[in-house]
Amino acid sequence: MPSQDRWAEVDDYLTGLLVPEDPVLDHVLSASAAAGLPPINVAPNQGKLLHLLAVITRAHTILEVGTLGGYSTVWLGRALPEHGRLVTLEGDPRHAEVARSNLEAAGLLGKVDIHIGPAQQTMAQLVTAGMGPFDLIFLDADKQGYPAYLDYSLSLSRPGTVLIADNVVRGGRVADPDSGDGAVEGVRSFLELVADEPRLSATAVQTVGAKGYDGFALAVVGS
């Protein structure tokens, strides 16, 4: 059976072929590491996938829940047209400061609004302020919050909005109803709510690679 080393080797091969070297993105990763941020950003090929999904959907407005150092923010922001807008939510002010610097280096601060605070609070504020609808929403924050984030995401959506949720397999533990892990329980509740939501058409896939064994969910809002 393939090992973690093999998964990483394949990721390196695919990334080397299909994701060109990028000094700006390399800077984002190195600056985030230097600032002591946890290395939990998406892998380069996953970032490219987010970029392609934003391009395919012709997204003009994007909501990201979970900024970290801004790595996925850069991938998504680069997919926006000239007058596009990206709103990204980060709970940790120090992370947001690093992300702001990285986004400035990437030339994207003019298109990105960073909101600092607990995501449920900031999403509620977006709803109250009449923000949206967003064309694409990317969830990549604390997994216990995913059920609430789904509810707010639907309030910030329109028919055709694409919803992407990262880290929904949890190393396979998502299949264990007795896990006792809060992150697993949050993801399971999220997936069950997605399955029961008549406005959503969705799937989830498992992934392996340099970031280990996990997966993502993809949904489209219907009428």
User: Residue 223 has what pLDDT?
Assistant: 75
| Amino acid (one-letter) located at 47 | G
For residues 123 and 180, is the Cβ–Cβ distance under 8 A? no
**CA–CA separation, 40 and 58 (whole Å):** 27
With beta carbons less than 8 A apart as the criterion, state whether 100 and 114 touch.
Answer: yes
The CA-CA-CA angle for residues 159, 132, 200, to 5°, reads: 30
pLDDT, position 3 = 82
Nearest one of 170, 161, 219, 166 to 195, comparing CA atoms: 219
Q: What is the pLDDT of residue 211?
A: 87
- Please report, for the chain, the start and end positions of each structural domain, with discontinuous segments joined by +: 4-221
Average pLDDT, consecutive stretches of 10 residues, N- to C-terminus, the chain (223 residues): 85 95 96 95 96 98 97 98 96 96 96 96 96 96 96 97 97 93 96 98 95 95 89
Q: How confident is the model at residue 1, as a pLDDT?
A: 62
The pTM of this model reads 0.96
- Which of the listed CATH numbers 2.40.30.10, 3.50.50.60, 3.30.870.10, 3.40.50.150 matches domain 4-221? 3.40.50.150
**How far apart (Å, rounded) are the C-alpha atoms in residues 78 and 11?**
22
Task: Could you list the beta-strand ranges (E) of the chain.
Answer: 61-65, 85-90, 112-116, 136-139, 162-166, 200-209, 212-221
Q: How far is CA 196 from CA 12, 93, 199, in A?
A: 38, 35, 9
Q: Which two tokens stand for residue 10?
A: 């394949």
